[in-house]
Structure 1
Amino acid sequence: MANTLTVGWLQAPVAFSASMLVMLLCVGVMYVVRAWRGGARAAAARNSLVILAVVCALYAAA
């Protein structure tokens, strides 16, 4: 995602924010599916969801 930062940043903030949102949603869905399926890594997936939620909250607050 860092490759999308250009000298003309003022032309791309909406596209960058939209692509970051889509990426975060995909990662969140992946963690939800992993936690829902259970298994040895379900607890790690739940912890990752908490961390992802904090990151999203900070991103939304900025």
Structure 2
Amino acid sequence: MQMNPIGWFEIYVDDMSRAKAFYESVFKVTLEKLNNETGIDVEMWVFPCEMESYGATGALCKMSDV
């Protein structure tokens, strides 16, 4: 299996609805909301991925206190 040097990325945004619409439109994907169980006030939307396939995935992140 081919390995990717990047396993996970996060793109921090100020306007989640705008960023989500942009990335979904550009990449022709649907982002999925990630349940936050950390206690940290952050909203995350994950790019689609397949763990058995080559490539990296990540999420859009918005922190309310930033």
TM-score computed with the length of structure 2 as normaliser: 0.29
Q: Which has the higher contact order (CA 8 A, sep 6+)?
A: 2
Higher Cα Rg, which structure: 1
TM-score computed with the length of structure 1 as normaliser: 0.30
More strand by share: 2
